[in-house]
Structures are given as structure tokens and as C-alpha cells.
Amino acid sequence: MSKPDISRAKSAGLYEKAKTYFPGGVNSPVRAFKSVYGTPLFIEKGDGSHIWDADGNEFIDFCCSWGPLILGHNNTAVRDKVIEVMQKGMSFGAPTALENELAELIISNNKYIEKIRFVSSGTEAVMSAIRLARGYTKRDKVLKFEGCYHGHSDSLLVKAGSGLVTFGETSSAGVPKAFADETIVVSLDDKKALQEAFEEFKGQIAAVIIEPVPANNGLLLQTQDYLNYLRQICTDNGTMLIFDEVISGFRVGFEGAAAYYNIQPDIITYGKIIGGGLPVGAYGASAEVMDQISPVGSVYQAGTLSGNPVAMAAGIAQLTQLLKPGFYDELHAKTAGFVNDIQAFVDNRGYAVKIFTIGSIFWFAFTTQESISTAEEIDPASMVKFKEMHRELINRGIYLGPSGYEVGFISAAHTTADLETTKIAIFDSLDIVFEKN
């Protein structure tokens, strides 16, 4: 039975006010709740696995600030380290020992990179990695995949055209066609398309960029064989392979998807998980490649807030905890148990639902397919069911990202009780969804 809608009076009032200040009332589009019911929830606080909105509603949170809060909200060690460092100042635009400490923590525990450059966001990390690849190879074209998102920089904010191998078409106003013409877009999990692209643009492709765990448009898990093929074709053509690990990095393991699949990319990008959820990103590679960057090399990239002490402090506190023995084993086992119980329920009911998962990431797909590896395989009509499920879950105190294309995350802060409560809420919500549809 459906539950009454929660009160959103204060959030609704804040949203109306916000619309007078911000385009669409938000500072990032998905927050506008356009794909689900109701107005956006304005969050006031978070602690552990729970968040509270302006109306006092409490939720078990599976968004986790879109992934980086792997320890949950307001982690004590992270908070205390940030407060300690903030008391000495928050930004200097100059080097600090904290940058060295976080870099050593990452590099000494990640065999896939030798040097790193801190920036202020995942978008900035990817943008810089693309420039580095172009500078290193002395080529201009970049190949990306339909269904992978790499931030909002111009050359990557493109979608596939109508052919098997096409130049990208701009997916946003304000992106010049000339920029999109340097980007080739192909489908995921398609060796033939890759081969044709490299034949058609022989000697022109500077980099291939992929989310090795595509998690921005559903969870489009790729096979080991396909990723191995991708690595080989890049090597054979002198093209740099960039792993965008803004989501998968430090999520599927400390060394991310590179270690999960045992593939050495040429450049790897990371997001705000390395800063405890604060605004930070990074890109890393071999010492030879990274030394192409200014001030020692000719590829220019800079940032006043790069390596700022507050984000570095949070990152040190967070990543230190991720290195504790058994951390990932426990988190992944917790996620697998959660997903398996839900899958068993829907299979028993005969519902067309498949929960895809890797590490501590999961995604609900309203489908009977055993695998979904490309964006084209997602049925847009299935989002109606997610919209209904999201509403029922919100009314039961469970918070998922407000789009059926977004994945969910489990953190170390999620307790057995949290997950049991959530499973019951999901069972009840799915029963209602499939009664209506």
C-alpha cells in the first residue's frame, strides 16, 4: 500500500526562492528532481548513513554525495582532521606538506601511477588528462563512448551521431561544432566500431577515454575481454588510453578499476573521493608522461585551489581508513548480500528487475536482460517504473539519486539494520510499482 507523501513545505519554499537566484533553482541539473516526483529536497545535515532535509524528514542515504562518501556522512576522523587544518588557514595558493602526504598515500599504494597532479574537480581532471594526451602524442582527435560521461568540458560534451563511427554532435548549446568535430563517438562493447574508428582515423587519435566502470548512465559493465581489446588496440596505434575513474577510483578498490581488471591505462583520473567528498580531483600517469606538464613540460595546467589544505586533510583522513585490512572485503560483501536478497525477491515475484552491481555500487534496471553493456540497451520507458519506486522509497525514508539512470552506493556507515530496513522498503515499493504497471 502506498504511503502518504512526506511534507516538503520548507524544501518547496526554499526551491521557489532558489529559482530567483539560480537557473532552474539549482547549481547542478540532476538536483532539480525533473525525473522523479515532487520538488527537490533541501538537505540540512548528514551523519553516518542518514541525511535530514529542511522539513525534518530523515532518510537512509544511498546517494552518498554521488559516491565519494564511502565512509558515510560526517565521518569523525575526516571531520576532526579538517577542523585541525582549517584552524591554520584554508587556502594559500602555495605548496603545503599535506599535498606530499596525500600524494605519497595514493602513489605508494597504487602501482598504476607514478606521479599525480591535484586539481579541484573530476571535470578538471579529465579536461587536463585530454590536454596531456594531445600534448604527448601531438595528435588532436579523441575517441569516447556513448553512455560514458566525463564532465562538462567542451570536447567531451558530445553525443553519438547516426553512424557506427561518427564525429560527436554537440549535446549542449555553447559547444562549438569545431570542438565536437575533434571527438569521435562509438558505442560501448563494440569491437567492430573501435576497429573501424582506428582505421578511418589512422594516426590521428590522441586518446581513447572510457569509464572502465561506466556508471553515469546506468551501470554498463564491460567484459574483461572487451577492455583487454581496448588496451591492445590503443597500444597498437600509439593512442593513449585514459581511464576515467572519477566514480570507480577508490570505490571498487583502492587501486580502482585498473586493478580490478588488471589493465594499465596511460592516464587515470580521480574525483572527490580522494578528498573525503570535498571539491578535489586528480590525474596520474607514469613519471615520463606526467613530466610533460608545466612547469617541467610544455602542457599547461594550473589552479589556485589545486592541492588546497582542507581537501588534502580530508583526503588523508579518508584514504587512511580505506587502507585498513579487510575494508573493501567487508564493504563488498555487505553490498553483495543486499543486492542478492533484493534480486531473489524480484525473481520470486517474477518482476522484470535486474540489479547490476560491482564493488559497493548498484543499479536498478527494469528489464529482463541478464546484462546491459551499452546505453542503447536501456529502455527509456522503464524510467516510469523508477519514478514510481523513487516516490515510494522517499515516503519510506530511503533516498536514492533522483534519476533512474543514476547508480546507488553503499558506504561503510550503512549498518545491517539500515540495509534490512531498506530491503523491506524496496520490496513494498516494487510491489506497488508492479501493481500499477
Half-sphere exposure of 216 (CA within 13 A, CB side): 18
Tell me which of 149, 260, 283, 399 is the catalytic residue: 149
Contact yes or no for 210/144 (Cβ under 8 A)? yes
Tell me which of 244, 328, 399, 418 is the catalytic residue: 244
Tell me which of 81, 141, 144, 272 is the catalytic residue: 272
The SS3 assignment for 230 reads helix
The SS3 assignment for 228 reads helix
Question: The C-alpha cell of 391 is what?
Answer: 516516490
Measured distance CA(336)–CA(334) in Å, rounded? 6
First to last CA, the chain: 14
Contact yes or no for 156/142 (Cβ under 8 A)? yes
Which residues fall within 8 angstroms of residue 58, CB to CB, at 6 or more apart? 50, 51, 52, 397
**Beta-ladder partners of 283:** 117, 269
Measured distance CA(117)–CA(95) in Å, rounded? 12
Active site residue 149: yes
Q: Which helix (H) or strand (E) holds 93?
A: none
Find cell 580502482 and name the residue. 256
Q: Where are the beta strands (DSSP E) in 178-239?
A: 183-187, 205-210
* Composition of the chain by helix, strand, coil, percent to 5: 40, 15, 45
Give the pairing type, strands 281-285 and 267-270.
antiparallel
What burial class does residue 198 get, using C-beta atoms within 10 Å of its C-beta: 0-12 exposed, 13-18 middle, 19+ buried?
buried
Question: The C-alpha cell of 169 is what?
Answer: 554532435
Q: Where are the beta strands (DSSP E) in 152-204?
A: 158-159, 166-167, 169-170, 183-187
Measured distance CA(232)–CA(152) in Å, rounded? 28
The closest of 263, 273, 285 to 311, measured between CA atoms, is 273
The SS3 assignment for 1 reads coil
| Residues with catalytic roles | 149, 244, 272
